[in-house]
A and B are shown apart, each in its own frame.
Chain A
Amino acid sequence: MKETNNKNFTSSGMSLIVKTVTRWTVLFIMLYGWYITLFGHLSPGGGFAGGVIVALSFIHIILAYGKDFVVKKINKILSESLETTGALMFLSISIMGFSVGVFFKDFLGQGKAFSLLSGGMILPANIAIMIKVGFGMLSAFLCLILFSPQDEEK
């Protein structure tokens, strides 16, 4: 087969079939993670579950295309910084409770029941948790693959 610049034919990662299927499914997996997060206050799910699914979508790409493909776009420092951002978002949501008097108090109001924008600060808190958990898991996974013993042998 002729060598091309097409990323499907790079030597790293799994076979062409896996790469193609990954290309088709990975956005849906991520979308599902976002759905679980955003509707966490209305249906089963929430920030933690959504975050795990979002992290799995990234891990899926890493497994299919090999680590170099992903590490070029999301390196360890970016992933860790985003994780910290999630934690700081959650902390600032809780601190904003001081604006209505008490730490962690709901400052957004209830909204109309069963609509997306209801449940007060649960929705932003879920998003913050999703970022924290998603990128936390991704950082852990990146640590596992970046510092493997094979690298030292090379």
Chain B
Amino acid sequence: MTLPLFVVLPLFAAFINTMVGRFLKLFSEVFVNLINFVVLILCIIWIYKINTLNNNIFVYEVGGWKIPYGVALVADPVSVFMLFTVNLVAFLVGIYSVSYIEKYTEKWGFYSLFELMLAGMNGVIISGDIFNIFVFLEIATIASYGLVAFGTQKEELEASFKYMVLGSISTGLILLGIVLIYAYTSTLNLADIASILILSEDKLIIRVIMFIFMIGFVIKAAIVPFHWWLPDAHPSAPAPISAMLSGVLIKTLGVYLIVRLFFNVFPIDEKILKMICYLGTLSMVVGVILALYQWDYKRLLAYHSISQVGYIFLGIGLATPMGILGGIFHLFNHSLFKSLLFLTSGALEYNFGTRNLKEYHNVNRIMPITTFSATIGSFSIAGIPPFNGFWSKLIIIIACLEKRDILLALIAALVSVLTLASFLKVLKYAFYTEQKYNTGPKLLKEVPFFMQFSMLTLAILCFVSGIILYPNIKHIVFDGVIKFITENLYIKFILK
């Protein structure tokens, strides 16, 4: 009953907000954050509910039309896990935006686009129908084009245009894949497609379709040969939106759909998975090397997104239960620490008005909370032991060793060291600078409460979320996810 609400509530918020928000002051902030909070509570209820359900799967037939004729919404442990990740980050980013977005005009427009993007992502996650997935994917990406260009300066418009060109190529490829799959199987329901493909003899046709899909999703996830839109698009957006784009959008549209389609819908193809694995490794290395000599804080973080999504691809491409656990856990962790780091970059930009690392001064004295959160975020992304990034990288490296792929394990460890180097640079130049006492005409102080609240919450979550691997909690959170990805339960339970 409550499953469609994940799409309906954000859409409702977006449209009401366009109508009322421009006339009433403070309406947008209060209303949108309230809706985000309700959706987050729904997610937590669903985490509990999905574990108590029979077979851990729930199928909602929209309009009462039976599967495979109608559109289905599906909740299984994978989608509920993704919903929780997306809405947790969206809720905290929404609160952060309350203060950050003060400097822009048309706040209601920002919040409406934000909610449209959220509705699109939630729709992609819960949809069980391949064309619906395409529609929601377009809603999310088109809203994100608008958000990247939100500042309407020259640089932002150019980045948004570049993003739009690459995004259109990728959605075109995905649409081509959907057309081919519809021509081949005559159905659009994911489980129904899977049941036809598993009996098919034409391995070549399926592999070609998978390849087309893979290129589409790899562009969306900004994996290396197609990564060059991301370092322009993500830094140009307002900081909360950078956090959403790097934190959850590239994962929902890239990683989640690859997991869903290549493990649950298409028959598992070792060659394609190996390709994903090697593309991920390449992207890890190239991303971190490009990040090393950046002086623009947000651009540096954007290059690290490319590198860290490479880790996720590496874990998933290994296709062993351990690798998938590592990939999915790193997905969750990355969404926390990368949004945290982008929010701290927003806090610095809010006070100093620049993104250049060399121009910050006295930050650890003026902004202790921002410095504290950024330190925790940096340690998490670099994989320093008690923080969450360490555990997921460790699992990915163990998974590589389990598959006797020592080279990949070595590269993963080395990239982690380079990440540490790059973030030590950030900490030294941006946060723990020498004390200069000529702070200029403007008296700087710590950012407003809402921004502090979001950053601190994310920092605490980064510190705590390593505990998910404790066996009892792992059983609730991850066992169902791993089972649904590796054992092909998806078809079995939907088409009973």
Q: Please give the residue numbers on chain A whose beta carbons come within 8 Å of chain B beta carbons, in ascending order.
A: 77, 80-81, 84-85, 87-88, 91, 94-95, 97, 101-106
Q: Does the CB pair A105–B19 fall under 8 Å? A: no
Give the top 8 A-B pairs by smallest Cβ distance, nearest first. Answer: A104-B63, A103-B4, A102-B64, A84-B18, A105-B64, A87-B15, A84-B19, A104-B62
User: Looking at the complex, which one of B12, B19, B60 makes contact with A85 (CB distance below 8 Å)?
Assistant: B19
Which residues of A lie under 8 Å from residue B365 when comparing CB positions?
none
Tell me what chain A mostly uses at the interface: helix, strand, loop, or mixed: helix
Q: Does the CB pair A102–B16 fall under 8 Å? A: no
Most A Cβ at <10 Å: residue of B12, B19, B22, B60: B19
Given contacts A88-B16, A91-B11, 14 further A-B contacts (CB under 8 A): A81-B19, A84-B19, A85-B19, A87-B15, A88-B15, A88-B19, A91-B8, A95-B8, A97-B63, A102-B62, A103-B8, A103-B60, A104-B63, A105-B64
Q: Does the CB pair A101–B64 fall under 8 Å? A: yes
- Return B150 CB to nearest CB of chain A, in Å: 16
Number of A-B contacts (CB under 8 A): 38
Q: Does the CB pair B15–A103 fall under 8 Å? A: no
Which residues of A lie under 8 Å from residue B64 when comparing CB positions?
101-102, 105
With A91-B8, A95-B8, A103-B4 in contact, do A84 and B63 touch (Cβ < 8 Å)?
A: no
Which residues of A lie under 8 Å from residue B61 when comparing CB positions?
102
Tell me what chain B mostly uses at the interface: helix, strand, loop, or mixed: helix
- Return A146 CB to nearest CB of chain B, in Å: 15
Q: Does the CB pair B15–A91 fall under 8 Å? A: yes
Most A Cβ at <10 Å: residue of B4, B8, B15, B22: B15
Between-chain CB contacts (< 8 Å), 13 pairs: A80-B18, A87-B15, A88-B12, A91-B8, A95-B8, A97-B63, A102-B61, A102-B63, A102-B64, A104-B4, A104-B63, A105-B63, A105-B64
- For chain B, residues 27 to 62, give those with C-beta under 8 angstroms from any C-beta of chain A: 60-62
Which residues of B lie under 8 Å from residue A77 when comparing CB positions?
22
Which residues of B lie under 8 Å from residue A91 when comparing CB positions?
8, 11-12, 15
- For chain B, residues 296 to 340, give those with C-beta under 8 angstroms from any C-beta of chain A: none
* Residue of chain A at shortest CB distance from B17: A84
CA distance A5 to B61 in the complex (A): 61
CA distance A101 to B4 in the complex (A): 12
With A101-B64, A102-B61, A105-B64 in contact, do A84 and B15 touch (Cβ < 8 Å)?
A: yes
